[in-house]
Homo-oligomer: A and B are copies of this chain.
Amino acid sequence: MNNLADIALAIDRADSVLICGHVLPDGDSLGSMLALGLALEKLGKKVTMGGADRVPAIYGFLPGVDRYVEGAPPAGEYDTFIVLDCSVPERLGKGYQEMLSSGVVVINLDHHAGSKSFGTYRYIDPAAAAVGEIIFDLFNLMKVDISLESAICLYTAIVTDTGSFQYENMQPDTHRRVAELLELGVPAAQINQELYEEKPKAVLDLLGLALGTLSLSPCGRVCWMTVTRKLLNISGAEDEHTEGLVNYARSIRGVQVGILFRETEGGDFKISFRSKGTVDVNRLSAMFGGGGHPRASGCVMSGNLADIQEKIVSAAVLAAGGINN
């Protein structure tokens, strides 16, 4: 483990930098990558940014997002590889994971509590609500003037990874950093509109249909929704649009565990768990070969939906202490 000053020095020495986040990129991995990449470019470095998976449409407004190269890392003579928001090498995705053993200097910046330590330089701060906060502090340490473009990217990183400043990962200093970003001119309301108010109608149609499947266990502690291929077809929504649906199941009074059953293209079922209270859904999903975090986890199962739901819901009710209710 290094301190942030070591990281700043290592970045200072770099000339040609490759930066990536994780597979299925989110607001924090993309925002942190673009903020850092745009800033390093202004410092005269050659910067390449990309990732194995495509950028979700809602992040299309991010400054510099057109610089993101999708797929394998572009051929190039890199001396430094910066990895953001990746708890394990596997999250780097195809092509990027191989870069770890290519002999370049690897700088690993992350905030996941269970992060696996890898890289030449490693800075992992589980107290940071977003990697965007780490980049913010790094900029201050490096005495980088934060451009409006980078500030917009950092705001997006923080607002998305904190659920609009609502999650447990919020620290007083998170709000203070955001205050400074707003002072740099970040149009916060406009960004929130881009993120949360520009949905394809199919997403809301899917939400309506999915809410129609809401089921509550007799004890009231477990609530689940089901999205079949049929529901996706009727609504015209895509798999990525199911993200966040599970939160609706959790948002009901008294519910301890919210579950989403989603049929995959291959006919399996992807099961997402969200815990509101003290139930460790990481342990719950591990019973079915899955994993994740205590509050958010998932697993994949094959077979008959009714059988799968029976097994999963029974286990969830048990975990939520509701067996005899």
CA–CA, A325 to B212, complex, Å?
Answer: 33
CB distance B200 to A204 under 8 Å?
A: no
Known contacts A165-B164, A182-B175: A205-B211 contact under CB 8 Å:
yes
Question: Is A143's CB within 8 Å of the partner chain B?
Answer: no
A210: chain B residues within 8 A (beta carbon): 208
Nearest chain B CB to A158 CB, angstrom units: 11
Report A191-224 CB contacts with B as 1/0, cut-off 8 Å: 0110011111100110111111010100000010
A240: chain B residues within 8 A (beta carbon): none
Q: Which of A166-193 contact B (CB under 8 A)?
A: 166-168, 170-176, 178-180, 182-183, 188-189, 192-193
Question: Is A230's CB within 8 Å of the partner chain B?
Answer: no
CA–CA, A208 to B209, complex, Å?
Answer: 7
Partner of A276 from B174, B197, B223 at Cβ < 8 Å = B197
Nearest chain B CB to A255 CB, angstrom units: 8
Known contacts A172-B179, A182-B171: A197-B164 contact under CB 8 Å:
no
Look across to chain B and name the residue whose beta carbon is closest to the beta carbon of A191.
B166
Nearest chain B CB to A204 CB, angstrom units: 6
CA–CA, A204 to B204, complex, Å?
Answer: 13
Chain A interface size, as a band, is 35 or more
Report A220-253 CB contacts with B as 1/0, cut-off 8 Å: 0001000000000000000000000000101111
CA–CA, A178 to B174, complex, Å?
Answer: 10
Q: How many identical chains are in the complex?
A: 2
CA–CA, A127 to B175, complex, Å?
Answer: 19
Partner of A197 from B182, B197, B198, B251 at Cβ < 8 Å = B251
A183: chain B residues within 8 A (beta carbon): 172
CB distance A166 to B179 under 8 Å?
A: no
CA–CA, A166 to B178, complex, Å?
Answer: 12
CB distance A166 to B189 under 8 Å?
A: yes
CB distance B182 to A248 under 8 Å?
A: no
CB distance A248 to B204 under 8 Å?
A: yes
CB distance A172 to B182 under 8 Å?
A: yes
Instruction: Please name 15 further chain A to chain B contacts, defined as beta carbons within 8 Å, in addition to the given A164-B165, A166-B188, sorted by A numbering.
Output: A167-B189, A167-B192, A170-B188, A172-B183, A173-B179, A175-B175, A198-B253, A199-B252, A201-B223, A201-B253, A204-B211, A204-B252, A205-B211, A208-B211, A208-B212
* 17 pairs from A and B in contact (CB 8 Å cutoff): A164-B164, A164-B166, A170-B182, A170-B188, A170-B189, A172-B179, A172-B180, A176-B179, A198-B252, A199-B253, A201-B214, A204-B214, A204-B248, A204-B252, A205-B211, A205-B214, A208-B211
